[in-house]
Structure 1
Protein backbone atom coordinates (compact mmCIF):
# COMPACT_ATOMS: atom_id res chain seq x y z
CA UNK A 1 0.00 0.00 0.00
CA UNK A 2 1.50 3.33 -1.04
CA UNK A 3 1.83 6.22 1.39
CA UNK A 4 -0.50 9.22 0.78
CA UNK A 5 1.23 12.28 -0.67
CA UNK A 6 2.28 14.79 1.95
CA UNK A 7 1.25 18.40 1.76
CA UNK A 8 4.47 20.34 1.39
CA UNK A 9 2.67 23.69 1.50
CA UNK A 10 2.15 23.39 5.26
CA UNK A 11 5.90 23.28 5.96
CA UNK A 12 7.26 26.54 7.42
CA UNK A 13 9.09 28.63 4.87
CA UNK A 14 12.34 30.45 5.79
CA UNK A 15 12.11 34.23 5.91
CA UNK A 16 14.65 37.01 5.74
CA UNK A 17 15.43 38.66 9.05
CA UNK A 18 14.73 42.36 9.32
CA UNK A 19 15.94 44.90 11.83
CA UNK A 20 13.35 45.42 14.61
CA UNK A 21 11.94 48.92 14.66
CA UNK A 22 12.65 49.20 18.39
CA UNK A 23 16.35 48.68 17.67
CA UNK A 24 16.55 52.21 16.30
CA UNK A 25 16.01 53.46 19.86
CA UNK A 26 19.11 51.64 21.07
CA UNK A 27 21.40 54.61 20.42
CA UNK A 28 19.24 56.87 22.57
CA UNK A 29 19.18 54.28 25.34
CA UNK A 30 22.97 53.96 25.12
CA UNK A 31 23.47 57.73 25.23
CA UNK A 32 21.34 58.06 28.37
CA UNK A 33 22.79 55.05 30.21
CA UNK A 34 26.39 55.69 29.22
CA UNK A 35 26.20 59.39 30.03
CA UNK A 36 24.68 58.58 33.41
CA UNK A 37 27.41 56.02 34.09
CA UNK A 38 30.17 58.52 33.30
CA UNK A 39 28.61 61.18 35.51
CA UNK A 40 28.13 58.78 38.43
CA UNK A 41 31.73 57.55 38.29
CA UNK A 42 33.53 60.81 37.53
CA UNK A 43 31.56 63.19 39.74
CA UNK A 44 33.77 64.74 42.42
CA UNK A 45 36.72 62.61 41.29
CA UNK A 46 39.91 64.49 42.30
CA UNK A 47 42.32 65.48 39.58
CA UNK A 48 45.40 64.50 41.63
CA UNK A 49 46.24 61.85 44.17
CA UNK A 50 44.73 63.77 47.03
CA UNK A 51 41.34 62.87 48.51
CA UNK A 52 40.97 59.68 46.44
CA UNK A 53 39.88 57.75 49.53
CA UNK A 54 37.33 60.43 50.44
CA UNK A 55 36.01 60.41 46.84
CA UNK A 56 35.42 56.67 46.94
CA UNK A 57 33.69 56.81 50.33
CA UNK A 58 31.42 59.71 49.43
CA UNK A 59 30.51 58.35 45.97
CA UNK A 60 30.37 54.62 46.76
CA UNK A 61 26.62 54.26 46.09
CA UNK A 62 26.88 56.29 42.86
CA UNK A 63 29.80 54.19 41.60
CA UNK A 64 27.94 50.99 42.46
CA UNK A 65 24.93 52.21 40.47
CA UNK A 66 27.23 53.00 37.53
CA UNK A 67 28.62 49.45 37.53
CA UNK A 68 25.05 48.14 37.34
CA UNK A 69 24.07 50.41 34.42
CA UNK A 70 27.18 49.90 32.29
CA UNK A 71 26.38 46.36 31.04
CA UNK A 72 23.00 47.57 29.78
CA UNK A 73 24.67 50.54 28.10
CA UNK A 74 27.02 48.07 26.40
CA UNK A 75 24.14 45.94 25.16
CA UNK A 76 22.45 49.05 23.75
CA UNK A 77 25.67 50.03 22.00
CA UNK A 78 25.89 46.64 20.31
CA UNK A 79 22.33 47.14 19.04
CA UNK A 80 23.30 50.62 17.85
CA UNK A 81 26.19 49.13 15.85
CA UNK A 82 23.76 46.64 14.32
CA UNK A 83 21.29 49.37 13.35
CA UNK A 84 24.02 51.50 11.75
CA UNK A 85 25.45 48.54 9.85
CA UNK A 86 21.99 47.56 8.63
CA UNK A 87 21.76 51.01 7.05
CA UNK A 88 24.81 50.28 4.89
CA UNK A 89 22.89 47.66 2.91
CA UNK A 90 24.59 46.72 -0.36
CA UNK A 91 27.04 49.64 0.00
CA UNK A 92 28.92 47.84 2.75
CA UNK A 93 32.72 47.92 2.33
CA UNK A 94 34.76 45.20 4.05
CA UNK A 95 37.80 47.40 4.75
CA UNK A 96 35.99 50.26 6.48
CA UNK A 97 33.51 47.82 8.04
CA UNK A 98 36.38 45.96 9.73
CA UNK A 99 37.68 49.20 11.24
CA UNK A 100 34.16 50.26 12.20
CA UNK A 101 33.38 47.01 14.02
CA UNK A 102 36.84 46.56 15.53
CA UNK A 103 37.06 50.07 17.00
CA UNK A 104 33.49 49.89 18.30
CA UNK A 105 34.13 46.61 20.10
CA UNK A 106 37.46 47.84 21.50
CA UNK A 107 35.77 50.98 22.81
CA UNK A 108 33.17 48.86 24.55
CA UNK A 109 35.80 46.49 25.97
CA UNK A 110 37.83 49.39 27.40
CA UNK A 111 34.74 50.88 29.05
CA UNK A 112 33.89 47.49 30.55
CA UNK A 113 37.45 47.30 31.92
CA UNK A 114 37.14 50.80 33.42
CA UNK A 115 33.80 49.97 35.02
CA UNK A 116 35.14 46.67 36.35
CA UNK A 117 38.03 48.58 37.96
CA UNK A 118 35.48 50.92 39.55
CA UNK A 119 33.62 47.91 40.94
CA UNK A 120 36.93 46.57 42.29
CA UNK A 121 37.60 49.88 44.01
CA UNK A 122 34.25 49.70 45.78
CA UNK A 123 35.06 46.18 46.99
CA UNK A 124 38.55 47.17 48.12
CA UNK A 125 37.12 49.95 50.26
CA UNK A 126 35.79 47.32 52.67
CA UNK A 127 38.08 44.34 52.01
CA UNK A 128 41.39 46.18 52.52
CA UNK A 129 41.65 47.06 56.21
CA UNK A 130 45.04 48.78 56.30
CA UNK A 131 44.48 52.53 55.67
CA UNK A 132 47.81 53.04 53.88
CA UNK A 133 47.32 50.01 51.62
CA UNK A 134 43.73 51.04 50.91
CA UNK A 135 44.83 54.51 49.83
CA UNK A 136 47.46 53.08 47.47
CA UNK A 137 45.00 50.59 45.98
CA UNK A 138 42.44 53.34 45.38
CA UNK A 139 45.01 55.63 43.76
CA UNK A 140 46.25 52.84 41.49
CA UNK A 141 42.73 51.77 40.53
CA UNK A 142 41.71 55.35 39.82
CA UNK A 143 44.63 55.78 37.43
CA UNK A 144 43.73 52.55 35.62
CA UNK A 145 40.09 53.67 35.39
CA UNK A 146 41.02 57.06 33.91
CA UNK A 147 43.55 55.59 31.47
CA UNK A 148 41.20 52.88 30.23
CA UNK A 149 38.27 55.25 29.74
CA UNK A 150 39.97 58.44 28.51
CA UNK A 151 43.26 57.44 26.91
CA UNK A 152 42.17 54.22 25.21
CA UNK A 153 38.36 54.02 25.04
CA UNK A 154 37.87 57.57 23.78
CA UNK A 155 40.50 57.18 21.08
CA UNK A 156 38.82 53.97 19.91
CA UNK A 157 35.55 55.90 19.87
CA UNK A 158 37.24 58.52 17.67
CA UNK A 159 38.40 55.82 15.22
CA UNK A 160 34.87 54.41 15.26
CA UNK A 161 33.51 57.82 14.31
CA UNK A 162 36.12 58.45 11.60
CA UNK A 163 35.44 55.10 9.90
CA UNK A 164 31.71 55.70 10.04
CA UNK A 165 32.04 59.26 8.71
CA UNK A 166 34.15 57.95 5.82
CA UNK A 167 31.51 55.37 4.92
CA UNK A 168 28.78 58.01 5.05
CA UNK A 169 30.79 60.44 2.96
CA UNK A 170 31.54 57.87 0.24
CA UNK A 171 28.08 56.31 0.11
CA UNK A 172 26.04 59.47 0.87
CA UNK A 173 23.80 57.41 3.13
CA UNK A 174 23.74 60.24 5.69
CA UNK A 175 23.88 64.03 5.26
CA UNK A 176 27.25 65.48 4.32
CA UNK A 177 27.16 67.89 7.25
CA UNK A 178 26.87 64.96 9.68
CA UNK A 179 29.93 63.24 8.18
CA UNK A 180 31.99 66.45 8.37
CA UNK A 181 30.80 67.14 11.93
CA UNK A 182 31.72 63.58 12.87
CA UNK A 183 35.26 64.10 11.51
CA UNK A 184 35.60 67.29 13.54
CA UNK A 185 34.36 65.73 16.76
CA UNK A 186 36.53 62.63 16.29
CA UNK A 187 39.69 64.66 15.71
CA UNK A 188 38.85 66.72 18.80
CA UNK A 189 38.56 63.54 20.87
CA UNK A 190 41.90 62.28 19.58
CA UNK A 191 43.63 65.48 20.67
CA UNK A 192 41.89 66.58 23.88
CA UNK A 193 40.78 63.24 25.33
CA UNK A 194 43.00 63.64 28.40
CA UNK A 195 42.44 67.35 29.03
CA UNK A 196 39.08 67.05 30.79
CA UNK A 197 37.29 64.24 32.59
CA UNK A 198 33.96 65.36 31.08
CA UNK A 199 35.09 65.05 27.46
CA UNK A 200 33.79 61.46 27.55
CA UNK A 201 30.25 62.85 27.37
CA UNK A 202 30.90 64.05 23.81
CA UNK A 203 30.65 60.53 22.38
CA UNK A 204 27.20 59.65 23.81
CA UNK A 205 25.97 63.09 22.71
CA UNK A 206 27.10 62.28 19.15
CA UNK A 207 25.40 58.86 19.31
CA UNK A 208 22.22 60.61 20.44
CA UNK A 209 22.29 62.94 17.41
CA UNK A 210 22.90 60.05 14.99
CA UNK A 211 20.11 57.98 16.54
CA UNK A 212 17.63 60.85 16.29
CA UNK A 213 18.50 61.29 12.60
CA UNK A 214 18.05 57.56 11.97
CA UNK A 215 14.65 57.62 13.69
CA UNK A 216 13.60 60.72 11.74
CA UNK A 217 14.63 59.11 8.45
CA UNK A 218 12.78 55.92 9.35
CA UNK A 219 9.63 57.92 10.13
CA UNK A 220 9.82 59.69 6.75
CA UNK A 221 10.31 56.39 4.93
CA UNK A 222 7.37 54.80 6.77
CA UNK A 223 5.09 57.70 5.81
CA UNK A 224 6.22 57.40 2.20
CA UNK A 225 5.48 53.66 2.15
CA UNK A 226 2.10 54.25 3.72
CA UNK A 227 1.26 56.90 1.11
CA UNK A 228 2.31 54.61 -1.74
CA UNK A 229 0.26 51.75 -0.32
CA UNK A 230 -2.89 53.86 -0.03
CA UNK A 231 -2.84 54.79 -3.72
Structure 2
Protein backbone atom coordinates (compact mmCIF):
# COMPACT_ATOMS: atom_id res chain seq x y z
CA UNK A 1 0.00 0.00 0.00
CA UNK A 2 2.81 2.44 0.68
CA UNK A 3 4.25 2.51 -2.89
CA UNK A 4 0.78 3.23 -4.32
CA UNK A 5 0.28 6.11 -1.95
CA UNK A 6 3.63 7.60 -2.94
CA UNK A 7 2.78 7.38 -6.64
CA UNK A 8 -0.45 9.29 -6.06
CA UNK A 9 1.57 12.13 -4.56
CA UNK A 10 3.82 12.49 -7.59
CA UNK A 11 1.47 14.48 -9.90
CA UNK A 12 0.83 16.99 -7.12
CA UNK A 13 4.56 17.46 -6.57
CA UNK A 14 5.07 17.92 -10.30
CA UNK A 15 2.30 20.47 -10.48
CA UNK A 16 3.51 22.51 -7.54
CA UNK A 17 7.12 22.50 -8.74
CA UNK A 18 6.10 23.46 -12.26
CA UNK A 19 4.01 26.38 -11.06
CA UNK A 20 6.80 27.72 -8.85
CA UNK A 21 9.28 27.32 -11.70
CA UNK A 22 6.96 29.15 -14.12
CA UNK A 23 6.48 32.08 -11.74
CA UNK A 24 10.20 32.40 -10.94
CA UNK A 25 11.36 32.15 -14.55
CA UNK A 26 8.71 34.56 -15.82
CA UNK A 27 9.61 37.08 -13.12
CA UNK A 28 13.33 36.78 -13.93
CA UNK A 29 12.72 37.27 -17.66
CA UNK A 30 10.48 40.29 -17.11
CA UNK A 31 12.95 41.92 -14.72
CA UNK A 32 15.86 41.30 -17.10
CA UNK A 33 13.96 42.54 -20.15
CA UNK A 34 12.93 45.73 -18.41
CA UNK A 35 16.33 46.42 -16.85
CA UNK A 36 18.48 45.60 -19.87
CA UNK A 37 16.29 46.04 -22.96
CA UNK A 38 17.64 44.98 -26.32
CA UNK A 39 18.59 47.92 -28.52
CA UNK A 40 19.24 50.25 -25.58
CA UNK A 41 22.78 50.93 -26.75
CA UNK A 42 21.61 52.11 -30.14
CA UNK A 43 18.94 54.31 -28.54
CA UNK A 44 21.46 55.98 -26.23
CA UNK A 45 19.83 54.54 -23.08
CA UNK A 46 22.74 52.35 -22.03
CA UNK A 47 23.30 53.58 -18.46
CA UNK A 48 22.64 51.04 -15.74
CA UNK A 49 20.81 53.12 -13.16
CA UNK A 50 20.48 51.98 -9.53
CA UNK A 51 16.93 50.84 -10.20
CA UNK A 52 17.96 48.79 -13.19
CA UNK A 53 20.92 47.37 -11.33
CA UNK A 54 18.60 46.26 -8.52
CA UNK A 55 16.24 44.64 -11.04
CA UNK A 56 19.11 42.70 -12.61
CA UNK A 57 20.30 41.58 -9.20
CA UNK A 58 16.79 40.43 -8.27
CA UNK A 59 16.48 38.47 -11.53
CA UNK A 60 19.82 36.77 -10.93
CA UNK A 61 18.70 35.75 -7.44
CA UNK A 62 15.59 34.09 -8.88
CA UNK A 63 17.29 32.07 -11.64
CA UNK A 64 19.01 29.44 -9.42
CA UNK A 65 15.75 28.67 -7.62
CA UNK A 66 13.95 28.46 -10.95
CA UNK A 67 16.51 25.88 -12.06
CA UNK A 68 16.07 23.87 -8.87
CA UNK A 69 12.30 23.73 -9.20
CA UNK A 70 12.60 22.86 -12.88
CA UNK A 71 14.76 19.85 -12.03
CA UNK A 72 12.19 18.80 -9.44
CA UNK A 73 9.49 19.30 -12.08
CA UNK A 74 11.41 17.04 -14.49
CA UNK A 75 11.92 14.35 -11.87
CA UNK A 76 8.30 14.36 -10.83
CA UNK A 77 7.15 14.11 -14.46
CA UNK A 78 9.41 11.11 -15.07
CA UNK A 79 8.12 9.45 -11.90
CA UNK A 80 4.57 9.99 -13.13
CA UNK A 81 5.37 8.28 -16.44
CA UNK A 82 7.24 5.44 -14.75
CA UNK A 83 8.52 2.49 -16.75
CA UNK A 84 6.07 3.05 -19.61
CA UNK A 85 8.08 5.81 -21.27
CA UNK A 86 9.71 5.40 -24.67
CA UNK A 87 13.46 5.23 -24.11
CA UNK A 88 14.36 7.35 -27.14
CA UNK A 89 11.93 10.17 -26.37
CA UNK A 90 12.77 9.92 -22.66
CA UNK A 91 16.45 10.45 -23.44
CA UNK A 92 15.59 13.55 -25.48
CA UNK A 93 13.35 14.72 -22.63
CA UNK A 94 16.09 14.36 -20.04
CA UNK A 95 18.90 15.74 -22.19
CA UNK A 96 17.01 18.80 -23.38
CA UNK A 97 15.91 19.63 -19.84
CA UNK A 98 19.44 19.46 -18.46
CA UNK A 99 20.88 21.51 -21.32
CA UNK A 100 18.12 24.07 -20.82
CA UNK A 101 19.09 24.51 -17.17
CA UNK A 102 22.79 24.79 -18.09
CA UNK A 103 22.21 27.43 -20.76
CA UNK A 104 19.80 29.33 -18.51
CA UNK A 105 22.47 29.50 -15.82
CA UNK A 106 24.99 30.59 -18.45
CA UNK A 107 22.71 33.39 -19.60
CA UNK A 108 22.27 34.51 -16.00
CA UNK A 109 26.04 34.52 -15.48
CA UNK A 110 26.54 36.59 -18.62
CA UNK A 111 23.88 39.04 -17.46
CA UNK A 112 25.52 39.23 -14.04
CA UNK A 113 28.81 40.34 -15.61
CA UNK A 114 27.28 43.69 -16.55
CA UNK A 115 26.82 44.62 -12.89
CA UNK A 116 30.52 45.44 -12.67
CA UNK A 117 30.18 48.44 -14.97
CA UNK A 118 28.00 51.50 -14.78
CA UNK A 119 27.39 51.17 -18.51
CA UNK A 120 26.88 47.51 -19.50
CA UNK A 121 29.00 46.37 -22.41
CA UNK A 122 27.26 45.53 -25.65
CA UNK A 123 29.07 42.17 -25.70
CA UNK A 124 27.77 41.13 -22.28
CA UNK A 125 24.23 42.16 -23.16
CA UNK A 126 24.26 40.36 -26.52
CA UNK A 127 25.90 37.27 -25.06
CA UNK A 128 23.25 36.98 -22.34
CA UNK A 129 20.36 37.38 -24.78
CA UNK A 130 21.95 34.99 -27.29
CA UNK A 131 22.23 32.26 -24.66
CA UNK A 132 18.67 32.88 -23.52
CA UNK A 133 16.80 33.27 -26.81
CA UNK A 134 18.91 31.23 -29.23
CA UNK A 135 20.07 28.29 -27.12
CA UNK A 136 18.12 28.05 -23.88
CA UNK A 137 14.68 28.55 -25.41
CA UNK A 138 15.37 26.14 -28.25
CA UNK A 139 16.31 23.47 -25.75
CA UNK A 140 13.08 24.37 -23.97
CA UNK A 141 11.27 23.77 -27.28
CA UNK A 142 12.74 20.27 -27.52
CA UNK A 143 11.70 19.63 -23.92
CA UNK A 144 8.14 20.73 -24.72
CA UNK A 145 8.04 18.44 -27.77
CA UNK A 146 9.31 15.45 -25.80
CA UNK A 147 6.97 16.04 -22.85
CA UNK A 148 3.94 16.48 -25.11
CA UNK A 149 4.81 13.33 -27.06
CA UNK A 150 5.33 11.14 -23.99
CA UNK A 151 2.35 12.56 -22.15
CA UNK A 152 -0.03 12.16 -25.09
CA UNK A 153 1.11 8.60 -25.91
CA UNK A 154 0.55 7.48 -22.34
CA UNK A 155 -2.70 9.37 -21.84
CA UNK A 156 -1.28 11.72 -19.21
CA UNK A 157 -1.76 14.80 -21.42
CA UNK A 158 -4.99 15.14 -23.48
CA UNK A 159 -4.81 15.77 -27.22
CA UNK A 160 -5.76 19.51 -27.12
CA UNK A 161 -3.05 20.19 -24.55
CA UNK A 162 -0.53 18.21 -26.60
CA UNK A 163 -1.41 20.33 -29.65
CA UNK A 164 -0.87 23.46 -27.59
CA UNK A 165 2.50 22.04 -26.53
CA UNK A 166 3.57 21.42 -30.12
CA UNK A 167 2.51 24.96 -31.08
CA UNK A 168 4.44 26.40 -28.15
CA UNK A 169 7.47 24.32 -29.08
CA UNK A 170 7.40 25.55 -32.67
CA UNK A 171 7.17 29.15 -31.48
CA UNK A 172 10.12 28.71 -29.12
CA UNK A 173 12.12 26.88 -31.78
CA UNK A 174 11.72 29.36 -34.62
CA UNK A 175 10.90 32.70 -32.97
CA UNK A 176 14.22 33.28 -31.23
CA UNK A 177 15.53 36.84 -31.04
CA UNK A 178 13.16 38.00 -33.79
CA UNK A 179 10.22 38.10 -31.36
CA UNK A 180 11.12 39.74 -28.02
CA UNK A 181 9.32 38.35 -24.97
CA UNK A 182 8.54 35.10 -26.83
CA UNK A 183 10.53 33.24 -24.16
CA UNK A 184 7.59 33.77 -21.80
CA UNK A 185 5.80 31.04 -23.74
CA UNK A 186 7.82 28.38 -21.91
CA UNK A 187 6.83 29.33 -18.35
CA UNK A 188 3.25 29.78 -19.57
CA UNK A 189 3.25 26.24 -20.98
CA UNK A 190 4.84 24.89 -17.79
CA UNK A 191 2.11 26.52 -15.72
CA UNK A 192 -0.57 25.01 -17.98
CA UNK A 193 0.86 21.50 -17.64
CA UNK A 194 1.24 21.97 -13.89
CA UNK A 195 -2.37 23.03 -13.43
CA UNK A 196 -3.47 20.00 -15.44
CA UNK A 197 -1.40 17.67 -13.25
CA UNK A 198 -2.89 19.20 -10.13
CA UNK A 199 -6.40 18.66 -11.50
CA UNK A 200 -5.55 15.03 -12.27
CA UNK A 201 -4.27 14.66 -8.71
CA UNK A 202 -7.49 16.07 -7.28
CA UNK A 203 -9.64 13.73 -9.38
CA UNK A 204 -7.50 10.72 -8.44
CA UNK A 205 -7.71 11.43 -4.71
CA UNK A 206 -9.32 8.43 -3.02
CA UNK A 207 -12.66 9.09 -1.37
CA UNK A 208 -13.00 8.27 2.33
CA UNK A 209 -14.84 5.04 3.05
CA UNK A 210 -18.32 5.33 4.47
CA UNK A 211 -18.55 4.64 8.14
CA UNK A 212 -21.00 1.83 8.89
Q: TM-score, normalised to structure 2's length?
A: 0.88
Which of the numbers 108, 116, 125 marks the counterpart of 2:109? 116
Q: What is the count of residue pairs matched by the alignment?
A: 204
Give runs of aligned pairs for residues 103-182 of structure 1, distance below 5 A: 103-122=96-115, 124-125=116-117, 138-182=121-165
Gaps of 5+ in 1: 1-14, 127-133
**Could you tell me whether the CA contact under 8 Å between 1:46 and 1:52 is conserved in 2?**
no
1:47 aligns with 2:39: yes
Change (3 A) 1:46 1:194: closer
**Could you tell me whether the CA contact under 8 Å between 2:24 and 2:66 is conserved in 1?**
yes
Gaps of 5+ in 2: none
Give runs of aligned pairs for residues 79-94 of structure 1, distance below 5 A: 79-94=72-87
Q: CA RMSD in A?
A: 2.1
Q: TM-score, normalised to structure 1's length?
A: 0.81
Change (3 A) 1:197 1:213: same
SS at match of 1:28: helix
For residues 190 and 166 of structure 1, the distance between their equivalents in structure 2, rounded to whole angstroms, comes to 16
Q: Residues 17-42 of structure 1, C-alpha deviation per residue, up to 9 Å, x if partnerless? A: 65565453111101111000001111
**Could you tell me whether the CA contact under 8 Å between 1:46 and 1:55 is conserved in 2?**
no
For residues 163 and 153 of structure 2, the distance between their equivalents in structure 1, rounded to whole angstroms, comes to 12
**Could you tell me whether the CA contact under 8 Å between 2:14 and 2:197 is conserved in 1?**
no
For residues 108 and 63 of structure 2, the distance between their equivalents in structure 1, rounded to whole angstroms, comes to 7
Change (3 A) 1:146 1:52: farther
For residues 47 and 159 of structure 2, the distance between their equivalents in structure 1, rounded to whole angstroms, comes to 47
For residues 57 and 76 of structure 2, the distance between their equivalents in structure 1, rounded to whole angstroms, comes to 30
1:28 aligns with 2:39: no
**Alignment match, 1:59:** 52
Q: Residues 193-230 of structure 1, C-alpha deviation per residue, up to 9 Å, x if partnerless? A: 221221111100000000000001001101xx225x44
**Could you tell me whether the CA contact under 8 Å between 2:14 and 2:194 is conserved in 1?**
no
Q: Cα offset for 1:58?
A: 4.8
For residues 210 and 13 of structure 2, the distance between their equivalents in structure 1, rounded to whole angstroms, comes to 25
Q: Which has the higher contact order (CA 8 A, sep 6+)?
A: 2
Q: Cα offset for 1:47?
A: 2.1
